[in-house]
Amino acid sequence: MDLLNTLVEKGLRRELPTREEALAVLATSDDDLLEVVAAAGKVRRQWFGRRVKLNYLVNLKSGLCPEDCSYCSQRLGSTADILKYTWLKPDEASKAAAAGVAGGAKRVCLVASGRGPTDRDVDRVSQTIEAIKEQNEGVEVCACLGLLSEGQAERLRAAGADAYNHNLNTSEGTYGDITTTHTYADRVDTVRQAQSAGLSACSGLIAGMGESDADLVDVVFSLRALDPDSVPVNFLIPFEGTPLAKEWNLTPQRCLRILAMTRFVCPDVEVRLAGGREVHLRSMQPLALHLVNSIFLGDYLTSEGQEGRADLEMIADAGFEVEGADTTTLPEHRAGGGCGPCGESAPAADDALGPEGRTVAAGTASGADPASASRTDLVAVRRRGAGTDLAPNA
């Protein structure tokens, strides 16, 4: 297929595909799916070999968020029956993190619900980072605390944080349909603050919220322009008790096409298979390892994931290997602090961050798969690990 040959060549040169090429990946048929995976897999192997980086989530503060993000079980007005608790103490968080590190995790992601941290919250998280670093030599720590105020990113960096996560989630054009209590621009600003402070930026998306193919391409192109080191791709977990509980728009095949498109647009970036993989990819999860080079180990913030042991077996059975703590994840040209949007055809950042070509109504995109049957049996609320007396899944 000429399209795939072109995309592989561009990916190996770190050259940005056109929007039309990215849209064409999403519009490919199920008959061509293995060819799409194989092509994107060549790009993945060029920059990351067969290594898989493991990440582990610790939910420092769960529930009762004042923001109204429609996809979130912790949102204002959510009736989802999730765990709710206030801040974990540093030693509690460090103990939870140690379980993930023991399971092979190279990075610990510290997440707290809320609009953004107060200065006191930053102090609290700084103490937690120091405790984790003291007890787990060589571990990376990523903070995810919401919108940052001036100077907070620098304080987290000084405390030992390596990275900061703040996802764009969806296209600028549809952001107001998903969240009204803050803006898309607020999210972009926080990512840039993290980068300016010397933190490795982690920013990604959520697919399956009723968006069009054009929306997916918009947000991935915007991420390319922001140039984060890590791009997590989440698939909506439709929690009962949230506004998007009935949004079952994904099939395993569509998820793989979305991951492939993300890899072609962000060829040399850590693409992470994040929340919802078990719900939507199901038995096809191993194929996704040919597209991504990073996954979360075990459970998520408010939902249970695949058993940690099963994650490790899946990686080994698919012919991949867990990335060691002494291995640098990013290619050499990025490891020194990023290279900016790469390739001569990369657009100016201001152009790439704007919504373009949204001519297809949400949910009716060309090449979109028919909606999956609702599988609420696959959505399991987390009842173990942080905030409970039960051992975590790692």
DSSP-derived 3-state class of residue 299 = coil
Q: Which two tokens stand for residue 329?
A: 């994840």
Would you call 109 a catalytic residue per the annotation?
yes
Residue 284 has φ and ψ, to the nearest 5°, of: -95, 10
Spatial contact of 110 and 143, defined as CB atoms under 8 Å apart: yes
DSSP-derived 3-state class of residue 260 = helix
CB neighbour list of residue 107: distance below 8 Å, 6 or more residues apart: 53, 54, 55, 56, 139, 140, 141, 142, 162, 163
Quick one: which of 61, 163, 58 has its CA closest to 115?
Answer: 61
CA–CA separation, 194 and 120 (whole Å): 19
CA–CA separation, 77 and 54 (whole Å): 33
Could you say which of 14, 44, 65, 257 is catalytic?
65
Q: Which two tokens stand for residue 252?
A: 């395993």
Spatial contact of 365 and 26, defined as CB atoms under 8 Å apart: yes
Could you say which of 14, 44, 107, 109 is catalytic?
109
Would you call 342 a catalytic residue per the annotation?
no
Could you say which of 75, 107, 157, 272 is catalytic?
272
Q: Which two tokens stand for residue 76?
A: 């204002």
CB neighbour list of residue 65: distance below 8 Å, 6 or more residues apart: 72, 74, 75, 76, 113, 114, 115
Cα separation of the two ends of the chain: 41
Spatial contact of 355 and 173, defined as CB atoms under 8 Å apart: yes
Strands 163-165 and 205-207: what pairing? unpaired
Spatial contact of 280 and 255, defined as CB atoms under 8 Å apart: yes
Could you say which of 144, 202, 255, 266 is catalytic?
202
Could you say which of 44, 69, 266, 358 is catalytic?
69
List the beta bridge partners of residue 321: 51
Spatial contact of 41 and 291, defined as CB atoms under 8 Å apart: yes
Could you say which of 142, 144, 255, 342 is catalytic?
142
Would you call 339 a catalytic residue per the annotation?
no
- Burial of 332 from C-beta contacts in 10 A (0-12 / 13-18 / 19+): exposed
Torsion of CA 112, 115, 116, 120, to 10 degrees: -80
- What are the residue numbers of the active site? 65, 69, 72, 109, 142, 202, 272
